[in-house]
Amino acid sequence: MSAAARERLELPIEGMTCASCAHRIEKKLNRVDGVEASVNYATERAAVHYDPARVRPASLVALVEEIGYRARLPEPLREAPEEKARAQPDPTASLRQRLIVSAALSLPVLALSMIPALQFQYWQWLALQLATPVVVWAGWPFHRAAWLNLKQRTATMDTLISVGTLAAWAWSLVALFFLDAGHPGMRMDFDLVLGRSEGASHIYLEVAAVVTTFILAGRYFEARAKRRAGAALKALLELGAKEASVIDERGHEQDVPIGELQVGQRFVVRPGEKIATDGVVEEGRSALDRSLLTGESVPVEVEPGEEVVGATLNVGGRLVVRATKVGADTALAQIGRLVTEAQSGKAPVQRLADRISGVFVPVVIALALATLAFWLGAGAGASFAFASSVAVLIVACPCALGLATPTALLVGTGRGSQLGILIKGPEVLESTRRVDTVVLDKTGTVTTGKMTLADVVTAPGVEPAEALRLVGALENASEHPIGRAIAAAAGEGGRLPAPESFRTRDGLGVEGVVAGRAVVAGRPGLLAECGLELSAKLEQARRAAEEQGMTAICAGWNGEARAVFVVADGLKPTSAEAIRRLRELGLKPVLLTGDNEATARAVARAVGIDEVIAGVMPGEKAQVIRGLQEQDRVVAMIGDGVNDAPALAQADLGLAIGTGTDVAIEASDLTLVSGDLRAAADAIRLSRQTLKTIKGNLFWAFAYNVAALPLAVAGLLNPLLAGAAMAFSSVFVVGNSLRLQRFQSDRQAAPAAGR
């Protein structure tokens, strides 16, 4: 099935309690013909790509519910995000209630079991009455999940918890009713270490109650931490305005909900208000604070004709804006979609952890039974053997493994969205670690991309105004930034004639007929190809312009070279600093441009780049990247134009300037929402830090199990400590991931480019 034939669906999943649950749902969904699914335990969502001709979304929901979990189709957004969030129940409320009751009842059980001075005749029966609600009611979510898994002939982390706590409770019940609880022969040195009193050696009510409490506490703090991890994306999606002040046909203003705003409608944005949606300024001048989307604190000036993005804040004057995009088509919605898709993905290292989690539980159950049999056979006594096997069941928690990658990815991508950095997926992280070369497109990346006509030099007998009018009319049919700059300057002198014919010479220039004259404009090579030779005066002007880092466009008509147009493209004020920061990350910068060697070298010197590849045709950029890769270099490419898209896709890591084209953004791995090149260094640093956090999480998750299981098997780990350690491991991994929220951008306030 081709990728084009697929549709993407995100199913919210409820009822998952560990990574094994996610692995099981994912395995079940992927067995359906025409479905590829990835289930993320941290985000509690299933990202499903399916063939609509073979699979109905409702059948996927039914399949998830068939194995004991809850799923629902995503609902269309009909209300403000924060109102919808308030309407939904707090997922931690039930856990908190069970935890409070469990803790209140478990503490007396623990005190009675461990402190001889508090014990009285028949205290064990009071402990039983206190522990039973904890095990049965507070631990009900574990038992329910274990039962549903058993019906499906599978086992998850809940199975271990349920079996462990119920076994401890049932053992104690049997001991109280059928065994002599006061028999001194049943007490072992192991119990003395724990502080047990004589007469309660084989009663494990405190284990059943306190372990349930520990695990509930772990789940509660884990759930809270996961909500914090996703808070950045939630805040991003709630940035948009809730109402728009629309101007009707009579010129009256009327407030309408944002969901009713339509493309083409005009709306007013007053000082202090948010831009309701993406649009074009029609009236007024103001400054916009875009920091919530780009991470940049300096307001940007806008005037009639300029595009504005929804959710940015108007901090200056009154604006009238015409809506060009609404709803899911806006930049804010697209950013949210990119971040959500990135958080749903899985890195290869996470898939390994998921496979381990999938087989881990059955192995642990077998190991617990083997531990019980071994210690019974070794003559250690039933109490010791039972305690050791329960410790094995409880301490072996694959949850930390399942949380290691997705929580770090959740926090890292969320923090990136706050800084105007969009990470397309987890696979990108590994690329940022290996990159050693960064190739930068010149126009629009290192420079502002806002071309202006600086000078017109003409041959003797040719009026500059006439030359500008002819060439400007020809370039008016071109979409190239240089051509648009010449056309804009020519248009200031009045209406331009329409070309009678027009042809683009890719990478060279343009040619056509204007006012009955055959006009050609572009590189000197194009004029030479047409038999036009530059005079000494024009050649000198061309060289002088290129030595100053400007672009010279040569033009001729009626069989002679007639003029040189000098076009300037200023450097972004932050480019030199950005290059320095990229070097500090161990990257070698390379400037790639279609401009001539002299212009490219001048720009490179100004920003601190030594290696320059100039005179490259648009279609050759991907070949240049491939050539660098053949030199065993791992290449990152930064660009913004349509002609950069193949190179961005070819590079090991593609970074698109968000102010560029949609094609470039789609082809890239990282998108820098702002036009500030320093964000490239921030993006690579954040990606590397996220990858480092993932690897640290996985190390500690594996190390925990490697260290804890042998201790439990050897009988050196008390079930109470095992429960506490298990809960701590998951909370530790999530807490470690939350440290990424403190990631700080190196960007500082800088003047807005071109202002």
Q: At a CB cut-off of 8 Å and minimum separation 6, what does 120 contact?
A: none
Q: Listing from the earlier edge strand, what are the strands of the sheet with 286-289?
A: 300-302, 286-289, 313-314
Helices (H), 636-748: 645-650, 662-667, 678-713, 719-738
Taking the C-alpha atoms of residue 284 and residue 300, their distance in angstroms, rounded to an integer, is 14
CA distance from start to end of the chain: 50
In degrees and rounded to multiples of 5, residue 534 shows phi and psi of -75, 140
**If you write DSSP's letter for every residue of 624-635 in order, what string do you get?**
HHHHHHHTT--E
Active site residues: 441
Taking the C-alpha atoms of residue 320 and residue 322, their distance in angstroms, rounded to an integer, is 7
In degrees and rounded to multiples of 5, residue 374 shows phi and psi of -65, -50
At 638 the three-state DSSP class reads: strand
Dihedral angle, C-alpha 524, 528, 534, 539, nearest 10 °: 30
In this structure, are residues 95 and 220 in contact, taking their beta carbons and an 8 Å threshold? Answer: yes
Per-residue DSSP letter, 233:
H
**If you write DSSP's letter for every residue of 373-439 in order, what string do you get?**
HHHHHTT--HHHHHHHHHHHHHH--THHHHHHHHHHHHHHHHHHHHTTEEE--THHHHHHHH--EEE
Q: What is the 3-state secondary structure (H, E, C) of 415-426?
A: HHHHCCEEECCC
Taking the C-alpha atoms of residue 644 and residue 622, their distance in angstroms, rounded to an integer, is 8
Taking the C-alpha atoms of residue 579 and residue 492, their distance in angstroms, rounded to an integer, is 37
Taking the C-alpha atoms of residue 360 and residue 397, their distance in angstroms, rounded to an integer, is 9
In DSSP terms, 244 is beta-bridged to 256
In this structure, are residues 266 and 272 in contact, taking their beta carbons and an 8 Å threshold? Answer: no
